Structures are given as C-alpha cells and as structure tokens.
C-alpha cells in the first residue's frame, strides 16, 4: 500500500471533523489510526491552510469547523474516487477527452485528489474504453442550462423545435422540469396556446428564449410520473391499437410511455397515443405477447406491415 501523505491525512481529518462536530483528539486519532500527537499535527496543517478549526476544552469539548469555511476541499477515498470516475465514464463517453466539458471537469477533480488516489483514478480514466450508448441523446449544455434556468425562474419560454421526422416549429411553453430518462433528456412543460402538457426532447430544441411573463407551476408536481404519461402525446402521427388481452394484463406488458390503455371489454384493450417515429413504435409493438391490430394511423399501419413482412421474409425457408 502506498504511504499516505500528511496532506491527505489532514484532509481525512477535516472530513471527520465536519462529519462529527466536537470530535476529540483521541477519537480523531483512533479514526485515522495514528497517535493523538499526529492527529493534532494534522489539525495544525489545516489551520496553516487557513481552514478555521475551533477547539473547545472540557468534557464536552473537541474539534469543529468554525465559521468562514465556504467551500470545503474535495475529500474522497480511493473507492469513492474510482467509483466516481467509473460512473462518469459509464454515463458520458467523452469523459476521457480534456476538451469535452465533462472531461475537463473530471480532470479538475482528479487533480484535486491526493496523489496516490489520483494515480489510480487517472489510470482507470486513461485506459478504460467504454462502448457508446447509442440510445442516449445528450443535449448541448447551454440549451440544458437555459431550460433549467427557465424552470427555476418560472419564466414563459419560447423554443424552436425540430422533430425526429424533420418538422420544425416555434412554441411558447411554461417549463415545469427537465427530466433525464434512460439516457435522454426531456423538457416537461405546459403549452398555454393548446392547454396541453408536452414532453419535448431537449436535444431537439434548437434555441431557447426566456420571455418576461412568469407562471405558477402545478403544486405537488411529479415530473417523472407525468413525463411517462405524456411521452406519447402531441406527436405528428396518431396511434390506435386494439390488443386481445384484458386491460390489466395489457398494462403489465405495455410501458406507460407507449400511450393510454383503456378497456374495450373483458378480453380486449385499446392503446391510443401519437409518435414522431412510426417505425420505432411498430418495433415496440412486436414485444406485446398477445395478438393486436393497428387501426390507425395510416403511417403506423404502413410501417407495421413493412416490419411484419421483413420478419416473415427473415424466417422463410429456401
């Protein structure tokens, strides 16, 4: 095991003092695995670095962080640091690129770590080769920041949007929340002109303009649940599918994001929604373990037949 430097020990001491205000020198020494004299020396190192560490004598005394410490230094164990690097690499595949904003930020974190920990973290960062998540769609950070700001300020916002099918439009929205779901970022909002809730992909937002008017968001908002309910609402192509299964059985195999399920009779359910990508939607329908019929719209009927023919052709024997 590499020897831990006095600076690293001092940072560990700071973490313990922050986590247990009033900790005694003896208790601090036990936690660090050093003598009381060494523990007091680490406190001295912190004070020399102008970190206010107060000490109180007596049976209820001990060390605590005084006023004036605004931003404590980063204090990570080796396991925590490696876990952070691995999580960033797994979620953002440009994290090894110092020119990328996430890569640059991760580099700053690594440089702030004690040298033995930083060496291990940097080795993982340098040598790991994550496979990109092709389903993920990361928006521009400037667009995301603007939308988060609009949500926080409750400002009416004008966005230019381009759908997956290539259609473009401008719309004024009341932004309620930015939600991340399965590697994709969504703006959950109200469209006042249509009195309708919409979920827009943030990576498809072309521009953001915060307007002067403010609004009051709904109380007790559940952004994740509401997003699930509205992912299949407001798109260009209509969906109507009849499923030969009771509605409760259909709900177990049809994700909420695919649309709204309702009972037709004891043995049949109806799925209604809209989509910007009929072919993708047809692919999702193939996972339903029951027979179904696509009644509309025309685009989904066409792509479902095309997909079905491809599957039949793939399974045909010579």
pLDDT tens, N- to C-terminus, the chain (318 residues):
345 667 778 888 888 888 888 899 999 999 898 999 999 999 998 888 778 888 887 666 789 887 665 545 556 666 666 666 666 666 655 666 666 666 677 777 777 666 766 777 777 666 666 666 666 677 887 888 889 889 989 999 999 999 887 889 999 999 999 888 877 889 999 999 999 999 999 999 999 999 999 999 998 889 988 888 888 888 889 999 999 999 999 999 998 889 999 999 999 999 999 998 999 999 999 999 999 999 989 999 999 999 999 999 998 766
Kindly state whether residues 271 and 289 are assigned to the same domain. Answer: yes
Q: What are phi and psi of 117, to 5 degrees?
A: -70, -45
Placement of tokens 């939600």 in the chain: 179
Which range marks the domain in which residue 252 is found? Answer: 237-315
Checking phi first, is residue 154 left (phi over 0); if not, alpha (psi -120 to 50) or beta?
left
Kindly state whether residues 35 and 58 are assigned to the same domain. Answer: yes
| Burial call 145-165: b when 16+ CB within 10 Å, e when fewer | ebbeebbeeebbbebebeeee
Q: Would you say the pTM of this structure is higher than 0.75?
A: no
User: Is 71 contained in some domain?
Assistant: no
How many residues does the structure list for the chain? 318
User: Is 1 contained in some domain?
Assistant: no
Kindly state whether residues 215 and 155 are assigned to the same domain. Answer: yes
* CATH number of the domain that residue 45 is part of: 1.10.10.10
User: Is 135 contained in some domain?
Assistant: no
């Amino acid at each position: 095991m590499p020897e831990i430097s006095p600076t690293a020990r001092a940072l560990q001491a700071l973490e313990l003092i922050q986590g247990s205000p009033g900790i005694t020198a003896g208790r601090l020494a036990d936690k660090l695995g050093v003598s009381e004299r060494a523990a007091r020396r680490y406190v001295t190192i912190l004070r020399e670095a102008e970190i206010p560490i107060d000490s109180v004598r007596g049976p209820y005394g001990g060390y605590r962080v005084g006023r004036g410490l605004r931003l404590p230094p980063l204090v990570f164990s080796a396991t925590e640091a490696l876990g952070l690097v691995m999580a960033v690499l797994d979620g953002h595949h440009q994290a090894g690129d110092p020119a990328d904003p996430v890569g640059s930020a991760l580099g700053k974190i690594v440089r702030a770590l004690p040298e033995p920990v930083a060496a291990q973290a940097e080795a993982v960062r340098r040598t790991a080769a994550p496979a990109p998540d092709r389903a993920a769609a990361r928006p521009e950070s400037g667009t995301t920041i603007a939308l988060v700001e609009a949500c926080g300020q409750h400002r009416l916002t004008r966005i230019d949007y381009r759908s997956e099918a290539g259609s473009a439009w401008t719309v004024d929205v009341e932004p309620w929340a930015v939600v991340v779901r399965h590697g994709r970022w969504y703006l959950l909002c109200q469209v006042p002109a249509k009195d309708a809730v919409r979920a827009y992909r943030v990576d498809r937002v072309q521009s953001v303009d915060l307007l002067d008017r403010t609004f009051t968001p709904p109380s007790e908002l559940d952004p994740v649940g509401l997003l699930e309910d509205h992912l299949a609402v407001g798109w260009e192509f209509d969906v109507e599918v009849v499923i030969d299964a009771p509605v409760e059985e259909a709900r177990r195999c049809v994700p909420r994001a695919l649309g709204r399920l309702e009972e037709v009779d004891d043995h049949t359910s109806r799925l209604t929604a809209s989509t910007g990508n009929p072919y993708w939607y047809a692919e999702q329908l193939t996972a339903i373990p029951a027979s179904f019929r696509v009644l509309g719209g025309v685009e989904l009927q066409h792509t479902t037949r095309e997909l079905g023919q491809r599957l039949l052709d793939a399974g045909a024997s010579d």
